[in-house]
Chains A and B, each alone.
Chain A
Amino acid sequence: MWLPILFLIIGVGLGLLTDIRIPDVYADYLSIAVLAAFDTLFGGIRAYLEEKFDEKVFLSGFFFNVLLAALLAFIGVQLGIDLYLAAVFAFGVRLFQNIAAIRRYVIDKKYISKKLAKWRRN
């Protein structure tokens, strides 16, 4: 569990240190891609906690979601419809659901472990 967090920190550090900037035109695509990435990240954590984690699903989900979000934004720009809002909405809802699931899982685990400890003491 520590290795991914280490890599996350390395990635953030790398991004901040290299001073890469995306042109304003593509900033929308990146922001939607970041949202998709967050969604995948929390989805992955949730799946891991629920012990249903599959790296194929995780990997394909990450790339597919990011690309789909960018594509949706692109089509939206071409058609003059704010289609990226659909992606923002979908990912936003899923993000909250995933975080809620993670929270519930963590609470359950603590509760059960406490109960178990109590039971053992008795």
Chain B
Amino acid sequence: MKIKQKVIISLVFGLIGLMVAIQFQTNREPDERDTRDLWEIRSQLQEEQKFQQNLYQQIRDAEQTIDQYEETSESEKVQTLKDSLEKLRSKAGLTDLQQPGIVIDISPLFVENENGQPYPSIAPDLLNRLINELNTYGATDIQIANERIVDITPVRSVNGETYVNNHPLPSVPLKIKVLATNPERLKDYMEVSQSKDDFAIENLDMEFTYEEKVNLTGYQGPVQINSMQVLEEAGEE
């Protein structure tokens, strides 16, 4: 082979090598690097620690209940059981409550209109949004008109009317009672909430008042949880 031939072939080989290398590099995924700085890691660590503390707290509470069961006599055991049951019932919204909370007055909002306007009503979607928003801002118990909202409460449209707990909602004006751990804060939140605007679009006015004693009635209907099952094995002992 002549030297010229060799050089040409070598150059082509070099080109091929270059192409292969570029192809290889193009297809290689860049390594995922941890780009968090010290502060981000620190705040995340704090979050995790808070979570851990929360879990410890829960464990402690559960252990206390177990201790109560174990240490006390038979009658006290029954009492503890009753206490737990009552606590759970109140948590589920089956008992009457009297606590500080806020009352939302919903009334029709009339606007000057030469065509007149239909009498406003609360649509289920609107109500669902309101309930979601209240829950977001820390509401613990809600009662719409006389219907206590529990975990299984349906809010739906039946023949154009809004039904809550399978009972038709009375027409406006009506009252929504809300309990919260911090009712005044909830009131402040709701004063500037999206719900207020949404209700205004539907010609409904909302007014929030804080009250020291808000009475809520318990949920009366049966609690049917067909799709829930008891899990036989609850973790390891």
Contact = CB atoms under 8 A, between A and B. Distances in A.
Interface of A: 3-16, 19-22, 27, 30-31, 33-34, 37-38, 40-41, 44, 53, 55, 58-59, 62
Nearest to A23: B26
Given A7-B14, A7-B17, A11-B18, A34 B8 contact: no
A55 B8 contact: yes
Given A5-B13, A15-B22, A30-B26, 18 more contacts: A3-B9, A7-B13, A7-B14, A8-B17, A11-B17, A12-B17, A12-B20, A15-B21, A15-B24, A20-B25, A21-B22, A30-B22, A31-B23, A34-B20, A34-B23, A55-B9, A59-B8, A62-B12
Contacts of A7: 10-11, 13-14, 17
A12 B18 CA distance: 5
A22 B9 CA distance: 25
A45 to B, nearest CB: 10
Contacts of B226: none
23 contacts: A3-B6, A3-B9, A4-B10, A4-B13, A10-B14, A10-B17, A11-B14, A11-B15, A11-B17, A12-B20, A13-B17, A15-B17, A20-B25, A21-B26, A22-B22, A30-B23, A30-B26, A33-B19, A34-B20, A34-B23, A41-B16, A44-B12, A62-B15
Interface in B51-74: none
**Which among A5, A10, A15 has the greatest number of chain B C-beta atoms within 10 A?**
A15
Contacts of B8: 55, 59
Contacts of A19: 25
Contact of B25 (A3, A5, A16): A16
Interface in B1-43: 1, 5-27
Interface string B200-223: 000000000000000000000000
A12 B25 CA distance: 11
Contact of B9 (A11, A13, A34, A58): A58
A31 to B, nearest CB: 6
B26 A11 contact: no
A53 B5 CA distance: 10
